[in-house]
Amino acid sequence: MKERFDVSGMTCAACQANVQKAVQKLGVNDVNVNLISESMTVDYDTDKIKNDDIIKAVEKIGYGASLKDKDKSSEVTLKESEEMSTVSRLKISFLFLIPLMYVSMGPMINLPIPSFLEGQGGAVNNAFVQFLLALPVIFVNRKFFVSGFKGLVNKAPNMDTLVALGASAATIFGIFAIMRMSYAMGINDTQVLDHYRHNIYFESSATILTLITLGKYFEARSKGETKSSLKHLMDLAPKTAMVIKNGEEVEVTIEEIEIGDTIVVRPGEAIPVDGIVTKGSSLVDQSAITGESIPVNKNPGDEVISASINKQGSFHFKAKRVGENTAISQIISLVNEANETKAPIARLADKIAAIFVPLVIVIAVLTFAIWAYISKDFEFALNLMIAVLVISCPCALGLATPMAIMVATGKSAELGLLFKNAESLENLHKIDSILLDKTGTITEGKPVVTDVYTKMDEDEFISIARSIEEASEHPLSNSIVEYANSKNISAREISDFHSLTGMGLEAKIVGQIYYAGNIRLMNEKNISVEAFEDKSIAYSEEGKTSMYFADEEKVLGLIAVQDLAKDSSIKAIEKLKTMGYHIIMLTGDNEKTAEAIRKKLAIDEKYAEVLPQDKDKVVRKLQESGKKVAMVGDGINDAPALARSDIGIAIGSGTDIAIDSADVVLIKNSLLDIVNSIRLSSKTIRIIKENLFWAFFYNIILIPVAAGILYPRYGITLNPMFAALAMSISSVFVCLNSLRLRSFEPEEETKEENIILKENEMSELNKMIVKVNGMSCENCAKHVTEALESVAGIKEVNVDLKNKEANVEFFGSVDEAEISKAISEAGYEYKGIEYK
């Protein structure tokens, strides 16, 4: 069983490693801890381990854990909760740090301070005031001490442990200094008094805590920005919807919607759940879900997606998927799952983090011991030890991978690319061969008529062909019927229809027998194909399928059909080849047809006549030859090959089983998104490597400096306050570097192509009836006509005075509110719309 938990109190990679190690000790199958989302996914046997066991294991080492509430509102995000807490701590910290720094540092730059704090006489007062000003800063930031020392006691030290040790050492030494000064004043030892009044470290303790809290504030802001893409998706779905119940519109919450409910959506509203349009027509903006930049025309029978935006007309639709089954919920779920898995590159950081903090504590102790022995200066050695503890906090190391992964998965969801786990995001750019299923992936998956060849009247020939094919449900038959419809050629009445298995069709038209099928059928009926055979072979060499049509004596003509490649597929293949990938096509077509398609699309290699159940064998063969293979498919028979490939990529319109078997899902059904996926994968890994380099470089360079390696020769040391600032800056750098992924721009069609697509979308002519009260004469009809024609999208208006209605033809979709307003302004009463 897999269960998700919320984990509180984690601040660094060591925290993440500690939580993971504690849960692994219980004997779970698998555990993934995410520092950014403060969550954990655990796969375990419920017969052996209970939820409470996992929660107790996490709490024992100093962190909090609870089962993730699936119904919890997304309103409280990391940006809102963590940032609010951190801001209040920051305000109090700076409120007391500023006067503390003035009192401690002011005299160094000749700033005036009260006389009772000056000189040897005011030394103890000065130190005690510093102590009082530091106490509120220490108190409001006590979480560092609670978490740090709890982790140390439970042998699971973390970043807070380093901060707590550094700040505690500075504070304790400050208290020790007050005691030494008080004693020195009592015995009038001015030398000891002068020594300690210049070596009070309360300001270091307060500054360390304040600067690290400042760093945490910037981290919290970055985490919020990191999750903004996902939060944007969550916020797209409306909280309520208008449902028709007992003939009336009733407002209900999203949770109350049931499958089969009829929902009303008006212009500008978001679609609450997935469903099928039953009444009305509109343009729907699906860009947030599918990444399509052009609104899609929706008519009765079309599917609408939750969280997409209705741009114009009102319509009714029937709920098909609700709750966790809606498209937006599944996308959010997939993105969350991807965030909570680890990319292979993150394992290196995890291994280092597990030993990093204990190692730093050892280095800090050795630094103190060595310098105390060499310099005989206790305060100097303490300074260096505190600097080592503070500079080494592994925040940047812990943020390097999950920050980039979360930004990338959020951005990919915006673009209609879904990575199911972090591993696929990392490994996609490593492939060298892309195996493309032909039907439905490269092509539209729907054959269309490309050529008609006959020696008789073409319209009469098509009429005969349509008449025979109309009774069949074969895809090739459907393409001929659709072609005849586009030519406005009607069918004739047929009788004695028969389907001849493996050969074609037979039917009578006005007593005359006609045949439609392949060359095998012609040979079976002893009909000569000699006059048409060359043409059929030519079509075949172009990758087309020819169908013979004949009467009992002779062939009447040929119709060639082809499943055409999508425009996006042609561009995608060209771009992928430019990027250096080896493109391979997989098809069940015969060798000749497959070769024609391969040449036409400039594909590098093909596998023809592949049986559906043998597709995974092709993947295995390529892998055995040393290739890293990405398989792209959409059907049930593609699922084994998708699962076997190094990276399985499913087309979003494909079957559920294909999508379940894949590592990446392309929601827009465009192969151009493979290009986008690879580019995003490559850029993400580059960002992660930059983050890890910075985190490692920062620690490798600055830990030795903090330990005093440059002091003997150059006299350079690192003040603990500057160490705290440097540590915070390193974390902020990693966060900001990861956020660069938000600027990722996908490969898209050109602006001119988008304009053409938009024109094609809007060229669809629709009809509706507008009910209008108050019309009584031809003059009224004229006013209503002029009012309606003023509405954008309306092409033609014919008013029926008798029935008090207007028959309206319009392009794409129109805004019902505009129609109502136009009629009202003309002085008449709008009574609603009926779509034809």
Q: Cite the active site residues.
A: 437
Helix (H, G, I), strand (E, B) or coil at 698: helix
CB atoms inside a 10 Å sphere around CB 664: 26
Distance CA 786, CA 823 (A): 9
Residues 6 or more apart from 332 whose CB is under 8 A from it?
Answer: 230, 233, 234, 413
Residues 6 or more apart from 602 whose CB is under 8 A from it?
Answer: 573, 574, 577
Q: Are 103 and 133 in contact (CB under 8 A)?
A: yes
Q: Work out the angle at residue 400's Cα, subtended by the Cα atoms of residues 396 and 403, and round it to the nearest 5 degrees.
A: 115
Q: Are 590 and 440 in contact (CB under 8 A)?
A: no
Residues composing the chain:
836
**Burial grade of 708 (CB within 10 A; 0-12, 13-18, 19 or more):** buried
The two beta strands, 765-773 and 629-633, are unpaired
Q: Which of 279, 274, 289, 361 is nearest to 324 (CA)?
A: 274
**Burial grade of 315 (CB within 10 A; 0-12, 13-18, 19 or more):** buried
- Tokens, residue 679: 């580019």
Q: Are 678 and 664 in contact (CB under 8 A)?
A: no
Helix 816-825 / helix 778-789 crossing angle, nearest 10 deg = 140
**Alpha-carbon torsion angle 541, 542, 547, 550, nearest 10:** -70
Q: 């996006």: which residue's tokens?
A: 568
**Alpha-carbon torsion angle 29, 35, 38, 41, nearest 10:** -10
- The amino acid that residue 204 corresponds to is S
Identify the DSSP state of 270. Answer: B
Q: Which of 203, 227, 222 is nearest to 104 (CA)?
A: 203
Alpha carbon distances (Å) from 298 to 164, 261, 282, 289, 722: 61, 19, 5, 16, 61
Q: Which of 277, 332, 280 is nearest to 304 (CA)?
A: 277
Torsional sign, CA 568, 574, 580, 586? positive
Q: Which of 256, 823, 276 is nearest to 265 (CA)?
A: 276
> How far is C-alpha 767 from the geometric centre of its chain's CA atoms?
39
> How far is C-alpha 686 from the geometric centre of its chain's CA atoms?
18
Alpha carbon distances (Å) from 457 to 69, 314, 486, 494, 694: 70, 46, 17, 20, 76
DSSP states along 149-166: HHHHHTT---HHHHHHHH
**Alpha-carbon torsion angle 112, 114, 116, 118, nearest 10:** -10
- The amino acid that residue 429 corresponds to is H
Q: Are 454 and 557 in contact (CB under 8 A)?
A: yes
Distance CA 807, CA 154 (A): 79
Strand runs (DSSP E) across 274-403, as ranges? Answer: 274-280, 282-285, 296-298, 303-304, 309-310, 315-321
| Maximal CA-CA distance, the chain | 132
